[in-house]
Structure 1
Amino acid sequence: MFGPTLKPGDIVIIENLPAQKPIAIRGAIEATVAVLRFLPLYSPDCNPIEMAFSKLRAFLEKTAARTKDDRGDAITLAIETFTPKECENCFRAAGYDFKSSENALANRCFRDRQLREMETTEADHFE
């Protein structure tokens, strides 16, 4: 999946799960001369998505939504409250540097945020 985009010196960090350890996966990543590293067995502080899930769980507990429809609405609202800056903060708290990182996901998120900001700025000019 990442093979075509990886460059020598890139670092791929994956969870320490049996499904992600097959020799074929390791070989494909290492064939690109990228460095493969595994997270510790349980490391939510190194995983940006865990920080986001934590905020989502806290939001759901606060809304006390009990029915399926109410929970669906609460989840939608919770996701809408995540600003690009909050997403960036989750990555930063996990040790990613958005400005200089060669991390493909971080760079894409940063570019997407910049595009959204440009679209918002352009829309403001036409109102």
Structure 2
Amino acid sequence: MLLDNCIWDIKCSVGNDILDNHHKVLFDILTRCVESSDKSDVKYLMVVRELLDYCHMHFAVEENMIEENGYPYFQEHAVEHKNILSAVEKIIFKLYNGIPINVDRVDKFVFNWILRHVLEEDMKYKGYI
């Protein structure tokens, strides 16, 4: 199952309690996306919308921290955040407007992004916060 690899543990830690807690919430939201029993249900749309809202907040906090601490790849990290937000906004637009989407692809996108972003990209700033 998709979720077998989506359990937050110490290997996901960036060494900052605030950001680690944010990442735990992101993992929880992903779990709810994947476990949603009816992907056509309004509840699924609400969870994806929650993901977008939470990402906006988390990215703002994370970007502020890494910029203040002189992370040299801040701009590249911020661009990745912007691209992710744009992709999730497009998903939500389609869901709101009844445009058919492959929800399994949506779940895989979110799953892969959270794992890759936290385990690869966020680990790069670990020594700066």
TM-score range, shorter chain: 0.3 to 0.5
TM-score, normalisation: structure 1: 0.33
The structure with more radius of gyration: 1
- Kindly indicate which of the two structures has a greater share of residues assigned to strand: 1
Higher relative contact order (Cα pairs below 8 Å, separated by 6+ residues) = 2
